[in-house]
């Protein structure tokens, strides 16, 4: 991929791809890597919009030098989001361009001091402040808690570019082009956008809605986030995806999530799944918590309206990986789901009580019957499992 990619006259992508990091935030698998998008405006003044993680500074600085050409000066670094995957290289960037003024809001500059000890040659901006670069004019929109307290967006008014920070971003390195119209399998990027949103951003859905409301009247030609594709063909599509997800609007479909140590809970899952399939209800996703990473399960549960959860008892409680998953979901505050419950135990129960307590705290709608089996399921137990699958499919139709 060329190191010099133009978004518009005077505006360039100077980001880098990370294909070495296995876990984003040391939590979420990124088998397809991730892009750290950074942008450069070459006008009467030179501005960089967001930096990159410090692992890739050699490539990053080379891109900046090539674009600057005979110019040797960067006037501004605009920080939309100071999380270290976008700011880790700031100290090196400041060393390369010591006169560069760092621009951010009050909370950004506070965190800049705490993370990197930088307190000089900084400029604080407030909501709707502007910065003239020449023919380009930047306007700042504070969008706190999307997903850190200092997050903001920067809008270039003459070319109608929205530099949106982490909002409208997603997992995945940009290997075949940076723009949405260059990517052949855009659906895979949208799936990774959902996984990024649900695991990184979703807890702050209310604040995402506030941010979207704040920019709703802008004339936006390009959405340029700090992760994932740059949307120049359908910029509103990226915003609409985040809008729908942050409203928690579910698609019609089912997610079965289960754990099974010795096959008994798995037998129950199969009976439920067969009953669902017989009803021809549409999408059915099945996850074994011991094999599917929680990030993929959470994305599916966020996407689809009906979830059926099954767990064996383990030390008088939930199977640990199921317990971990449900704690993550509860932390994110997902609302308005249909749920069915099943499980098994050997010498002592406890899993079903914790599952039931989870449903009560989430205020999801429980679909009967809830089935708990001691030992291996009997034919009568499996009949109840099939009934649960049938009831769930019928309820989703109403």
82 falls within a domain: yes
- State the total domains in the chain: 2
All residues at 6 or more sequence positions from 121 whose CB lies less than 8 Å from its CB, including other chains: 99, 100, 101, 102
Instruction: Return the pLDDT at 348.
Output: 86
The answer on 166 and 30 residing in a single domain is yes
pLDDT at 398 over 90: no
Instruction: Return the pLDDT at 3.
Output: 59
Q: Which of 228, 246, 264 is the last residue of a domain?
A: 246
Averaged pLDDT for residues 288-304: 98
pLDDT at 2 over 80: no
pLDDT at 280 over 90: no
The span from the CA of 365 to the CA of 281, in Å, is 19
Instruction: Return the pLDDT at 192.
Output: 97
| Mean pLDDT of the residues in the chain | 96
The span from the CA of 228 to the CA of 165, in Å, is 11
Q: Are 82 and 112 in contact (CB under 8 A)?
A: yes
Beta-bridge partners for 284: 254
The answer on 240 and 260 residing in a single domain is no
pLDDT band of 29, cuts 50, 70, 90: very high
The span from the CA of 96 to the CA of 94, in Å, is 5
The answer on 356 and 207 residing in a single domain is no
Cis peptide before 238 (omega within 30 of 0): no
Report the predicted TM-score, pTM, of the whole model to 2 decimal places. 0.95
Written as six digits, the tokens of 85 are: 């995957």
The answer on 365 and 239 residing in a single domain is no
The answer on 278 and 227 residing in a single domain is no
The answer on 148 and 262 residing in a single domain is no
CATH number of the domain enclosing 306: 3.40.50.360
Rg of the chain in Å (alpha carbons): 24
Cis peptide before 128 (omega within 30 of 0): no
All residues at 6 or more sequence positions from 216 whose CB lies less than 8 Å from its CB, including other chains: none
267: exposed, middle or buried (C-beta count within 10 Å: 0-12, 13-18, 19+)? Answer: middle
Q: Which of 193, 216, 246 is the last residue of a domain?
A: 246
Per-residue pLDDT tens digits for 39-85: 999 999 999 999 999 887 998 999 999 999 999 899 999 999 999 99
What percentage of the chain exceeds 90 in pLDDT?
A: 94
Which pairs count as long-range contacts for 186-193, CB under 8 Å and 24+ apart, including other chains?
Answer: 186/229, 188/32, 189/228, 189/229, 190/241, 191/299, 192/32, 192/228, 193/168, 193/169, 193/228, 193/238, 193/241
Written as six digits, the tokens of 118 are: 């930088």
pLDDT at 133 over 80: yes
Q: Are 79 and 53 in contact (CB under 8 A)?
A: no
| 2-6, 22-26, 127-131: least confident range | 2-6
Per-residue pLDDT tens digits for 204-256: 999 999 999 999 999 999 999 999 999 999 999 999 999 999 999 999 999 99
Coil, helix or strand for 233? coil
The answer on 214 and 76 residing in a single domain is yes
The answer on 336 and 215 residing in a single domain is no
Q: How far is CA 288 from CA 5, 54, 137, 291, 292, in A?
A: 42, 36, 51, 5, 6
- For 90-119, give the DSSP string: HHHHHHHSTTPEEEE-HHHHHHHHHHH---
Instruction: Return the pLDDT at 355.
Output: 98
The span from the CA of 151 to the CA of 142, in Å, is 7
Averaged pLDDT for residues 315-321: 96
Per-residue pLDDT tens digits for 345-387: 998 888 999 999 999 999 999 999 999 999 999 999 999 999 9
The answer on 106 and 32 residing in a single domain is yes
CATH number of the domain enclosing 108: 3.60.15.10
122: exposed, middle or buried (C-beta count within 10 Å: 0-12, 13-18, 19+)? Answer: middle
The span from the CA of 188 to the CA of 140, in Å, is 31
397 falls within a domain: no
The span from the CA of 213 to the CA of 209, in Å, is 6
The answer on 207 and 166 residing in a single domain is yes
The answer on 264 and 232 residing in a single domain is no
φ and ψ at 165, to 5 degrees? 65, -145
Q: Which of 246, 271, 290 is the last residue of a domain?
A: 246
pLDDT band of 1, cuts 50, 70, 90: very low
The span from the CA of 202 to the CA of 297, in Å, is 14
398 falls within a domain: no
The span from the CA of 118 to the CA of 116, in Å, is 5
Averaged pLDDT for residues 175-196: 94
What percentage of the chain exceeds 70 in pLDDT?
A: 99
User: Tokens 């021809």 — which residue?
Assistant: 280
The answer on 268 and 153 residing in a single domain is no
Closest CA to 154 of 120, 133, 130, 187: 130
93 falls within a domain: yes
Q: State which residues form the domain around 275.
A: 254-392
């Amino acid at each position: 991929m060329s190191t010099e990619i133009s978004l518009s006259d005077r505006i360039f992508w100077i980001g880098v791809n990370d294909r070495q990091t296995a876990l984003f935030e040391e939590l979420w698998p990124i088998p397809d890597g991730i892009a750290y998008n950074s942008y450069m405006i070459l006008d009467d003044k030179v501005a960089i919009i967001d930096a990159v993680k410090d692992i890739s500074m050699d490539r990053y600085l080379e891109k900046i030098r090539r674009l600057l050409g005979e110019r040797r000066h960067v006037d501004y670094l605009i920080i939309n989001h100071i999380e270290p995957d976008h700011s880790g290289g700031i100290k090196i960037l400041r060393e390369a361009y010591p006169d560069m003024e760092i621009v951010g809001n009050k909370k950004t500059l506070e965190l800049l001091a705490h993370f990197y000890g930088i307190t000089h040659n900084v400029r604080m901006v407030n909501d709707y402040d502007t910065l003239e670069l020449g023919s380009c004019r930047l306007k700042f929109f504070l969008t706190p808690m999307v997903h850190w307290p200092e997050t903001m967006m920067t809008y270039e008014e003459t070319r109608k570019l929205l530099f949106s920070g982490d909002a409208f971003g997603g997992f995945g390195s940009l290997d075949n082009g940076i723009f949405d119209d260059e990517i052949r399998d855009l659906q895979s990027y949208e799936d990774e956008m959902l996984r990024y949103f649900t695991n990184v951003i979703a807890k702050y859905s209310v604040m995402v809605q506030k941010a979207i409301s704040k920019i709703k009247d802008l004339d936006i030609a390009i959405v340029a986030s700090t992760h994932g594709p740059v949307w120049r063909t359908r910029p509103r599509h990226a915003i609409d995806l985040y809008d729908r997800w942050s409203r928690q609007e579910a698609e019609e479909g089912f997610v079965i999530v289960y754990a099974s140590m010795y096959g008994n809970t798995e037998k129950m899952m199969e009976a439920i799944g067969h009953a669902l399939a017989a009803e021809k209800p549409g999408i059915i996703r099945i996850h074994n918590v011991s094999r599917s990473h929680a990030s993929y399960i959470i994305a599916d549960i966020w996407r689809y309206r009906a979830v059926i959860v099954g767990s064996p008892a383990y030390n008088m409680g939930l199977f640990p990986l199921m317990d971990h998953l449900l704690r993550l979901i509860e932390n994110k505050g997902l609302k308005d789901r249909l749920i069915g419950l099943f499980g098994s135990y050997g010498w002592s129960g406890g899993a079903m009580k914790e599952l039931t307590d989870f449903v009560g705290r989430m205020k999801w709608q429980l679909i009967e019957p809830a089935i708990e089996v001691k030992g291996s399921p009997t034919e009568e137990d499996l009949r109840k499992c099939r009934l649960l699958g049938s009831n769930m499919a019928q309820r989703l139709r109403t």
